[in-house]
Every structure is written in C-alpha cells, then in structure tokens.
Amino acid sequence: MGHGKPPGYMRATKEVVRQKIIVARNLIKCHPLTLELATELFISKGMGVFRFSAALMEWSESELNDVKRLCVQAYKNAWHLPQSTASALLIFPKTHAGKRSTLPMAVLTHELLLHAERCMRDEDVV
C-alpha cells in the first residue's frame, strides 16, 4: 500500500490517532455506564478516529497490533474486567464463545473496501 511518501511521513498523525484511542480508553475506565453505552462510547470516540484515518495511510502490522492492544484494554474497561483477563473473550467471534469486539483490522479492511468502491464509481479512476 505504498504511497510514495518517505518513511515516517504519517508518524505524527498515527501518534495523534493512538493518543485519542488512549484518551477514549481511559474515559471509560471505572465508568458508571452500562456495558453497551461504554462500548458504544469507545467505538465512537476511539475507533472513530482510527476509522477516519485507516484507509488514508499505511499501517504496519506492529502499529495495528498496538492499536488492537489499546482497543482490547478499552473493552476490558467497558466490561469492568481486570487487565489481566485473557483477551480471547473479547477477540473471538460469538460462534467461539467470544464477544467479537470491533478491532482495527476489521475497521481497516472495511474502510479500504469502501475506499476502493468509491474509486470504482469515480469515472476518472481505473
């Protein structure tokens, strides 16, 4: 997905995204909200900022893993679970007894597909 930009070109933007995810994660730490509202708040504030930038820049596997780690921490906060709780519960699909939380790779894939679809509709892009 190289964009012809020098390495580190979007590093500052990625750090802003990461910091906003951390703020959203911390916002729901020790919250009085229902599980649904806390999860929705994180998805809106934390994953929303990632969703906005996902298709616009190249994310390395380690960067995506870091964002995933922050997301799992946030979901544990939403569920009032200790951070030492196994992450499988939050990552696995419901068919495998998980909660199938919204994670960065799914968001990135969805946004890239939407971006490709928009490009295909544009007559100037082939």
Nearest to 105 by CA among 69, 51, 64: 64
Residue pair 114/55 in contact by the 8 Å Cβ criterion:
yes
For residue 126, what pLDDT is reported?
53
Query: Residue 6 domain-assigned?
Result: no
Domain-embedded: residue 34: yes
pLDDT tens per residue across all 126 residues of the chain = 445 566 566 888 899 999 999 999 999 998 899 999 999 999 999 998 988 888 788 889 999 999 999 999 999 999 899 999 888 777 766 664 456 677 777 777 777 788 778 778 876 655
Structure tokens at 21: 């995810």
Residue 55 lies inside a defined structural domain of this protein: yes
**Full residue range of the structural domain in which residue 100 is found:** 11-121
Spatial distance between the Cα atoms of 126 and 116, rounded to a whole number of angstroms: 10
Please report how many Cα atoms fall inside a 13 Å half-sphere around the Cα of residue 43, on the Cβ side.
12
Read off φ and ψ for residue 33, nearest 5 degrees: -80, 160
Look up the pTM and report it: 0.77
pLDDT of residue 91: 72
